[in-house]
Amino acid sequence: MKSIFIRLGLIIIASVGVMYKTTAQETVIPIEKDEKWFGGVVNEAHLMPLAEGYDFDLYGNTGTNQAVPLLVSTKGKFIWSEEPFRFAIKNNQITIANRGETITVDSLGKNLRDAYLNASKRFFPSKGQLPDTLLFTRPQYNTWIELVYNQNQKDILTYAKSIIDNGFPPGVLMIDDNWADYYGRFDFRPDRFSDARGMVDTLHQMGFKVMLWISPFISPDTEVFRELQAKKYLLYDGSDKKSWKDADKPMIVNWWNGYSAVMDFTNPEAEKWFHDRLEYMVRTYHLDGFKLDAGDADFYPVNAISFRPATPNEHSRLWGNLGKYYPLNEYRAMWKMGGEPLVQRLRDKKHSWEDLQKLIPHMTVAGLLGYQFTCPDMIGGGEFGSFIGRDNLDEELVVRSASCSALMPMMQFSVAPWRVLSEDNLMAVKKLVAIRQQYVPYIMELVRRSAETGEPIVRTMEYEFPHQGMAEIQDQFMLGEKYLVAPVVTKENKRKINLPKGVWKSDEGETFVGPKIIEKHIPIDRLPVFELLNKE
């Protein structure tokens, strides 16, 4: 018998294999023997399955990455709410604390796959739409690490030319932050871009599609700020408890580039204004899409006044609506937008082995939250400080990072491999890109299927092989139901590979019968892949 305790005083509901809906402020769900739980926050996935003492409050906090009010269990249960909640693991129980909104606890499934699919079909069904397929079929290139805040026409074209000259295929090229005079200005700054339209046209001729970094921030004391203030398209400071109608002081928030006002997308007219500016950029400069950065729930203060009352999390979700206009999109922070044709990128990782080891659990948990069209972070890491000075660079780490990304849904470069790697290591990375191209038809089959069914593209071992003791494996994953991928994510050039039940054929042509643990020395240019020939 499965029991759920709902505390408003104390109410006890007990049943077997049924669904529960509660509107209590605290719901306690017992954890069964050998039951493991995942979910809530992508950037915390390396701490999953959730362990005793874990505690996270989703209200106003998306964990600097993607988050969803969903937890799923290896016993087939899921917990869902339309609103953010706090969840904690203590005394072999999950406690869900919220503000009185409905909590759904569903125990109809038998395993992790059931739990996820049951939740997906009910609360965030796939829309049958895809992002731009070039994001999957070719590597992506982001100008951030090479140019940081010095985005300029000359160096962007040089970077693009170097991609091709060094034998990498053209794909999506992302122009990152500081291309405009200030935030809210939707034109390229003339001191760095003498002919921005011509630059984009040249990139198109070279075989690239072009994305541009944008954010929901507006620099204060600018012409655009004054226009938006007059139209009341910004969030307002609610510390004086005025109504939206009477509010007159724009909210100024602190983010990683200083202090800015924030767009209020609860106002349809504000969203239309912002979308019109994006359309202007597309028409004027021939852009193909946008990298929509920031949008984290914690950039929307709890005391902010908006046109329509909304939680910080809801403001984050509304930022996601803008990406639906553009098949070529990318987000780094998101709330409750599973099943949509939006590309999600994992949070910037440090150039370290510790952060490399987070890629697989973060990617697979993203899949369990409905974010299937997800990109791992930039190869080698996305924090530019790691690449200042060759003494800080670990060439082997860059190659192993490329290996880890190669058979994920997408593969994104930023630091130029030809600039930082030896000839041998550069050849290893190019070999990994070539290996990916061999699997692109299968990846695209999974992408199209996921758009219809919501099923993850990259899956935890437990998802595909339930109840075989695989729930805590974090260094290998399944690409669909067919391929087990086991990249090296440590400084050692060898690793243990855990094969579940079935007959497996390795990329080197060896056949193994599982369950079996094998230990292999893995050369720098090898990505271990095992094809499942027979599951039983």
Give the Å distances, CA to CA, from 443 to 120, 226, 398, 448, 504. Answer: 21, 47, 23, 9, 19
Pull the structure tokens for residue 352: 């370290």
Q: Which region, left, alpha or beta, applies to residue 167 given φ > 0 means left and ψ of -120 to 50 means alpha? A: left
Confidence of residue 16 (pLDDT cuts 50, 70, 90): very low
User: With 50 as the cut, is the pLDDT of residue 11 above it?
Assistant: no
How many angstroms from the chain centroid is the CA of residue 505? 31
> What mean pLDDT is reported for the chain?
94
Encode pLDDT of 278-321 as tens digits. 999 999 999 999 999 999 999 999 999 999 999 999 999 999 99
Encode pLDDT of 267-276 as tens digits. 999 999 999 9
Buried b (16+ CB within 10 A) or exposed e, 327-362: bbbbbbbbbbbbbbbbbbbbbbbebebebbbbbbbb
**Mean pLDDT confidence for 40-46:** 98
For 388, residues 6+ apart whose C-beta sits below 8 A from its C-beta are none
Element (DSSP H or E) covering residue 534 = strand 529-534
Element (DSSP H or E) covering residue 143 = none
User: With 80 as the cut, is the pLDDT of residue 251 above it?
Assistant: yes
Q: Which of 16, 50, 15 is nearest to 31 (CA)?
A: 50
Whether the Cβ atoms of residue 111 and residue 36 lie closer than 8 Å to each other: no
Encode pLDDT of 171-216 as tens digits. 999 999 999 999 999 999 999 999 999 999 999 999 999 999 999 9
Would you state the pLDDT for residue 389?
67
Query: What value, to the nearest 5°, has the Cα angle with vertex 329 and ends 327 and 331?
Result: 145
Q: Can you count the helices (H) and strands (E) in the chain?
A: 14, 31
Confidence of residue 392 (pLDDT cuts 50, 70, 90): confident
Long-range Cβ contacts of 278-285 (<8 Å, 24+ apart): 278/186, 278/214, 278/322, 278/325, 278/326, 280/186, 281/186, 281/212, 284/187, 284/197, 285/188, 285/196, 285/197, 285/200, 285/212
Pull the structure tokens for residue 73: 């269990």
Would you state the pLDDT for residue 24?
65
Encode pLDDT of 229-247 as tens digits. 999 999 999 988 889 999 9
Distance, in Å, from the CA atom of 256 to the CA atom of 245, rounded to the nearest integer, reads: 30
Q: Which of 321, 368, 373 is nearest to 345 (CA)?
A: 373
Long-range Cβ contacts of 488-491 (<8 Å, 24+ apart): 488/400, 488/403, 488/522, 489/353, 489/356, 489/357, 489/359, 489/360, 489/400, 489/404, 490/353, 490/357, 491/353, 491/396
Would you state the pLDDT for residue 293?
98
Give the Å distances, CA to CA, from 78 to 34, 150, 416. Answer: 16, 46, 42
Could you give the 3-state DSSP secondary structure of residue 359? helix
Distance, in Å, from the CA atom of 363 to the CA atom of 365, rounded to the nearest integer, reads: 6
Q: State yes or no: cis peptide before 49, omega within 30 of 0.
A: yes
What is the pTM for the complete model shown? 0.95
User: Pick the residue with more confidence: 4 or 209?
Assistant: 209
Encode pLDDT of 83-112 as tens digits. 999 999 999 999 999 988 999 999 999 999
Encode pLDDT of 454-487 as tens digits. 999 999 999 999 999 999 999 999 999 999 999 9
Whether the Cβ atoms of residue 7 and residue 29 lie closer than 8 Å to each other: no
Could you give the 3-state DSSP secondary structure of residue 125? coil
**Mean pLDDT confidence for 71-83:** 98
User: With 50 as the cut, is the pLDDT of residue 8 above it?
Assistant: no
